[in-house]
Amino acid sequence: MRILDNYITRSVVQIFLSTILIFCFLYILIDLATHLEDFISNKVPWQTVASYYGSFFPIIFVQTAPIACLLASLFTYSNLNNNNEIIALRASGLNFWMITRPAIIFGIVAAALVFLVNEKFVPQSLSMSQEIKQEKIKLEASKRKTKAPPIKHLFFYGLNNRLFFIDQFDPSTKTLEGITIIGQNDNQQMTEKIVALKGEWTGSGWKFTNCQISKYDPFDLSSTGNVQFFKDKTLDIHESPEDMLKQRNSVSTMNIRGLKAYIKRFKGSGAVAALNGLKVDLHQKIAYPFACIVIIFAGLPFALASGRRKGLTFASVGIALVIGFLFYVVNAVGLALGKGGVLPPLLAAWVAPILFVGAGIYSARKLF
């Protein structure tokens, strides 16, 4: 079995690495073709361009590793089918689990590697790429051509110990909707809560509509000392739309520990929708690496079953690729339902892995 495991593992690893490199090359090629004119017109040094694209390698690896694992496993076992080696293995008494053990073990290793890269390197890579783009690469032409879409569920830690929760921020009109601002003292105790329906940037501050300002005793939050309501109120808040725009990817630049601390800081603020979205993101950071093993597990039964129907190897590969695509769709739907409050955050992040593991077990028992 060790010789067989080494033979299959070697093939899976080689195809996996080749697939990752192809994905990286295609991403850089497409992005470079899109922004080449901007690089040339702004006279961006090639060293800066190389650093910019180099910072994307950990991000591309994490995003493409699950589908690369699937493709590597499928092509390996499809090749075994083409050479009638699967039939020989089954004739020698090996069952489904013994044949697919090398691919499953590789999926577990890949999941651990994705988790490590996502925790240790992706946050720094995102910060680095944003810094290079904002400070060294001025893509003003592309900014003028593209209208920035509204940003939903924006939350960040601002000046003067203030926590901002915004349901929607439209950079093009510089307006806010669904605003909650928590003021704190130096001991992180709540002293003020500002709730407003809408906000508009005046050039020097924010003008809020239907604004309620509540003052709190930091040692007795159950009692509200002073509550004021304003139809229109301009507040001394210095975070500009540009400052808020820079905060939109703050969660993606955090690891699990940082995100947990972020959620703890916002706990008790009353911004239920924003906190729910943060919790979904936290569980997704834990669940996503398992996609490597889950997607292999769901696709392998079809790849191995093609040996019974000669000539349908590529059809089985296509079916398995569809399964991989469906995994991403189901995962995206689950996250959307979680952030919308329909599903609990834990279930929203794990619904796709649970469903596809169940489908893989059912297919393995049905086909073998």
In this structure, is residue 271 part of a structural domain? no
139: how many CB neighbours lie within 10 A of its CB? 19
Count CA within 13 A, CB hemisphere, residue 208: 21
| pLDDT score at 210 | 93
Give the burial class of 48: count Cβ atoms within 10 A of its Cβ; 0-12 exposed, 13-18 middle, 19 or more buried.
middle
In this structure, is residue 133 part of a structural domain? no
Model confidence pTM above 0.95: no
Q: Which domain holds residue 196?
A: 159-238
Of 247, 365, 259, 364, which is closest to residue 301 (Cα–Cα)? 364
CB 197 within 8 A of CB 178: yes
Residues 105 and 192 in one domain: no
| pLDDT score at 271 | 62
Of 166, 142, 320, 317, which is closest to residue 241 (Cα–Cα)? 166
Handedness of CA 316, 322, 327, 333 (dihedral sign): negative
pLDDT, one tens digit per residue, over 246-289 is: 665 566 778 888 888 878 766 665 567 777 888 999 999 999 99
Render each residue's pLDDT in the chain as its tens digit; 368 residues.
578 888 889 999 999 999 999 999 998 888 888 777 777 777 778 888 888 888 888 989 998 999 899 888 888 888 887 777 877 888 888 887 888 889 999 999 999 999 999 988 888 888 787 777 666 555 444 444 455 678 877 877 777 778 888 888 888 888 999 998 888 777 767 788 899 999 999 888 899 999 999 888 766 656 566 788 999 988 878 788 887 776 655 667 788 888 888 787 666 655 677 778 889 999 999 999 999 999 888 888 877 765 445 555 566 567 767 877 899 899 999 999 998 889 999 999 999 999 998 888 887 777 66
Q: Domains in the chain: how many in total?
A: 2
Residues 121 and 7 in one domain: yes
Residues 8 and 124 in one domain: yes
- CA-CA distance, 130 to 358, in Å (whole number)? 39
Residues 121 and 168 in one domain: no
Domain final residue, candidates 207, 238, 269: 238
For residue 355, what are its two tokens? 């469903």
